[in-house]
Structure 1
Amino acid sequence: MSSPPVSTAGPQLGQQQRTARIIFASFIGTAIEFYDFYVYATAAALVIGPVFFPHGSATAQALSAFVTFGIAFVARPIGSFLFGHFGDRIGRKSTLVASLLVMGVSTTLIGFVPGYDSIGSLAPILLCVLRFGQGIGLGGEWGGAALLATENAPAGKRGWFGMFPQLGPSVGFLASNGLFFGLALSLSDEQFRSWGWRVPFIVSAVLVALGLYVRLKIAETPAFRAAIERRERVRVPVATLLARFWWPTLLGALAMVVCYTLFYISTVFSLSYGVSSLHFTRQGFLGMLCVAVVFMALATPLSAWASDRFGRKPVLIVGILAAFASGFAMEPLLGSGSMPLVQLFLIIELFLMGVTFAPMGALLPELFPTNVRYTGAGVSYNLGGILGASVAPYIAQLLAAHGGLAWVGGYVSVAALVSLFGVLCMRETRDTRLM
Structure 2
Amino acid sequence: MSANSAAAAPSAFERDARAANAHHGEIRPSEIAIGVLIGRTAEFFDFFVYAIASVLVFPAVVFSFADPVTGTYYAFALLALAFVVRPIGTAFFTWMHRRYGDAAKLTTALFLLGCSTIVIGFLPAYASVGTASVVTLIVLRVGQGLALGGTWDGLAPLLAVSVPENKRGWYAMLPQLGAPLGLLVASALYYFLITNLTQDDFLGWGWRYPFFVAFAVNVVALFARLRIVVTENYREMFERGELHPSPVRQTIARNGRNIVIGAFVPLASFALFHMVTVFPLSWIHLNNEPVSRFLLIEIIATVFGVVAHIASGPLADHYGRRRVLGVCAGAIAFYSCLAPLLLNGGTIGETIYMIIGSVILGISFGQCSGALAANFPRSQRYTGSALTSDLAWLFGAGFAPLAALAIAQNLGLVFSGAYLLSGAVVTLLALLVNRRLAASAL
Matched, 1:63 2:73: yes
Structure 1 pair 142–167 and aligned structure 2 pair: CA distance change class (3 A)? farther
Larger mean CA deviation between 302-311 and 212-221 belongs to 212-221
The TM-score with structure 1 as length reference comes to 0.89
Deviation >4 Å, runs of 4+? 85-94, 220-224, 229-234, 428-433
Specify the code of the residue in structure 2 equivalent to 1:214. Answer: A
Aligned-residue CA RMSD (Å) = 2.5
Q: Report the counterpart of residue 384 of structure 1 in structure 2.
A: 392
> Which residue does the alignment assign to 1:172?
182
What pairs with 1:2-17 in structure 2 (closer than 5 Å)?
none
The corresponding residue for 2:19 is none
Q: Which segment is superposed worse, 319-328 or 356-365?
A: 356-365
Counterpart Cα distance in 1 of 2:295 and 2:58:
17
By how many angstroms is 1:196 displaced?
A: 0.8
Match of 2:329 in 1: 320
SS of 2:154's partner is helix
Find the residue that maps to 2:93 and give its secondary structure: helix
2:217 aligned partner: 207
Equivalence map 1:345-360=2 (5 Å)? 345-360=353-368
Instruction: State the shift of 1:136 in Å.
Output: 1.3
The alignment of Structure 1 onto Structure 2 pairs a total of residues equal to: 417
Opposite residue 339 of structure 1, the aligned amino acid is T
Distance in 2 of aligned mates of 1:226 and 1:214:
19
Structure 2 distance, partners of 1:28, 1:95, is 18
Paired position in structure 1 for 2:272: 262
The 2-side partners of 1:332 and 1:223 are apart by 49
Conservation of the 8 A alpha-carbon contact between 2:263 and 2:372: no
CA shift, 1:40, in A, is 0.9
State the partner residue of 1:361: 369
Matched, 1:293 2:311: no
1:262-318 CA-partner distances (Å, limit 9, x unpaired): 1212221100111222x3211111111111111221111211222222222101000
Q: CA deviation at 1:133?
A: 0.9
The whole-number CA distance in structure 2 between the counterparts of 1:227 and 1:391 is: 35
Return the alpha-carbon distance in structure 2 between the equivalents of residues 29 and 88 of structure 1: 22
Q: Tell me what 2:193 maps to.
A: 183
Tell me, yes or no, if the aligned pair for 1:227 and 1:371 is still in contact at 8 Å.
no
- Aligned pairs for 1:58-97 (under 5 A) are 58-87=68-97, 94-97=104-107
Which shows bigger deviation, 345-354 or 166-175?
Answer: 345-354
Range that drifts further, 92-101 or 198-207? 92-101
Distance in 1 between the 2:242 and 2:161 partners? 18
1:407 is aligned to 2:415: yes
Shift of 1:105: 1.9
Aligned counterparts of 1:115 and 1:66: Cα–Cα separation in 2: 18
Task: Specify the alignment match of 1:225 in structure 2.
Answer: 236
8 A Cα contact 1:400 1:408, kept in partner: yes
Q: Tell me which amino acid in the other structure corresponds to 2:355.
A: I
Of 44, 49, 54, 1:44 maps to 54
The corresponding residue for 2:8 is none
CA 1:265 to 1:120, structure 2 compared with 1: closer, same or farther past 3 Å?
A: same
Unaligned 5+ runs, structure 2: 1-23
Alignment partners' CA distance in 2, 1:251 and 1:101? 32
Matched, 1:107 2:122: no
Per-residue deviation at 1:56?
2.4
* Residues 89 and 232 (structure 1), Cα distance of their counterparts in 2 relative to 1, 3 Å cut: farther
The residue type equivalent to 1:329 in the other structure is: L
1:421 alignment partner AA: L
In 2, the alpha carbon distance for the partners of 1:86 and 1:141 equals 12
Cα distance in 2 for residues equivalent to 1:47 and 1:345: 24
Distance 2:97 2:270 in 1: 24
Q: Is the 8 A contact 1:238 1:372 kept in 2?
A: no
Would the alpha carbon gap of residues 370 and 224 (structure 1) be closer, same or farther in structure 2, given more than 3 Å must change? farther
Change (3 A) 1:97 1:132: same
Q: SS of 1:356's equivalent? A: helix
Report % sequence identity. 33
| Deviation of the 1:216 alpha carbon | 2.4
Q: What's 1:303 paired with?
A: 312
Contact 2:170 2:312 in 1 (8 A): no
- Distance, in Å, in 1 between the alignment partners of 2:305 and 2:426 is 22
Of stretches 256-265 and 36-45 in structure 1, the one that deviates more from structure 2 is 256-265
What are the superposed Cα offsets for residues 54-76 of structure 1, whole Å, 9 maximum, x if unpaired?
11222111111111111111122
Instruction: Please report how far the alpha carbon of residue 19 of structure 1 lies from its aligned counterpart in structure 2 after TM superposition.
Output: 2.4
- AA matched with 2:333: F
**Amino acid of the structure 1 residue aligned with 2:428:** L
Residue 153 of structure 1: how far off its partner (Å): 3.3
Please give the per-residue CA displacement for 1:240-272, whole angstroms capped at 9, x wherever unaligned.
Answer: 211110111111111222122112122211001
Deviation at 1:141, TM superposition (A): 2.7
Equivalent residue number for residue 251 of structure 2: 241
- Residue aligning to 1:3: none
Structure 1 residues 84 and 107: CA distance shift in structure 2, 3 A: same
Once residues 73 and 178 of structure 1 are traced to their aligned partners in structure 2, the CA distance between those partners, rounded to angstroms, is: 25
Q: Once the 2 structures are TM-superposed, how far is the Cα of residue 27 of structure 1 from its aligned partner?
A: 0.8
SS at match of 2:166: coil
Distance in 1 (alpha carbons) for counterparts of 2:241 and 2:271: 40
Contact 2:270–2:393 (Cα < 8 Å) also in 1: yes
Give the SS at the match of 2:57: helix
Write out aligned runs for 1:112-123 (5 A).
Answer: 112-123=122-133
Write the distance in 2 (CA, Å) between the matches of 1:367 and 1:115. Answer: 47
Instruction: Output one character per residue of 1:64-119: Cα deviation in whole Å (capped at 9) or x when no partner.
Output: 11111111111222222233445567665554443333222211211111111222
CA contact (8 A) 2:118 2:212 kept: yes
* Partner AA of 1:269 in structure 2: F
The CA distance in 2 between the partners of 1:351 and 1:425, in whole Å, is 26
Q: In the alignment, which residue of structure 2 is the partner of 1:6?
A: none
Residue equivalent to 1:333:
342
**Distance (Å, rounded) in 2 between the aligned partners of 1:362 and 1:97:** 25
Whole-Å separation in 2 of the counterparts to 1:430 and 1:44: 42
State the alpha-carbon separation in 1 of the partners of residues 299 and 237 from structure 2.
43
CA contact (8 A) 1:183 1:196 kept: yes
